[in-house]
């Protein structure tokens, strides 16, 4: 009898834990991609190449929902900044439109 009272709570905690892991994985992936974009922005004067580097480092599913912005000064020694925002939907058993916005940013000094 007690099992039927506790089981829904245990399932809810398990699902919540899996969703937290999923959001953390997406955050790590986005952070790595933004760092790669910052490396390219620091060495290449074309901001579009930095955006391409970020998109290439992301999984195909994340590529579709991620917005990337690049700020690269032309002065050597100033920071080039790359930031990205993505919408991570939580998935089943949650509604499809329920999700979390994940942001990441990185900067590196312009080399040339």
What is the model's pLDDT at position 1? 66
Tens of pLDDT, residue by residue over 50-64, are 999 999 999 998 999
What are the CA-CA distances from residue 48 to residues 21, 84, 108 (Å)? 32, 14, 16
Confidence band (pLDDT; 50, 70, 90) for 107? very high
Domain-wise residue ranges, the chain = 2-109
Tens of pLDDT, residue by residue over 26-58, are 999 999 999 999 999 999 999 999 999 999 999
Largest CA-CA distance found in the chain, in angstroms, rounded: 71
Number of other CB atoms surrounding residue 39 within 10 Å: 17
What is the model's pLDDT at position 96? 77
């Amino acid at each position: 009898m007690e099992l039927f009272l506790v089981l829904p709570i245990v399932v809810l905690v398990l699902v919540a834990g899996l969703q937290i892991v999923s959001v953390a994985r997406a955050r790590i992936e986005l952070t790595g991609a933004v760092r790669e974009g910052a490396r390219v922005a620091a060495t290449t004067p074309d901001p579009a190449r930095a955006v391409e580097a970020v998109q290439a480092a992301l999984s195909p599913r994340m590529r579709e929902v991620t917005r990337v912005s690049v700020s690269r000064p032309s002065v050597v020694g100033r920071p080039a900044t790359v930031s990205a925002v993505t919408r991570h939907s939580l998935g089943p058993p949650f509604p499809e439109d329920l999700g979390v916005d994940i942001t990441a940013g990185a900067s590196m000094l312009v080399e040339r």
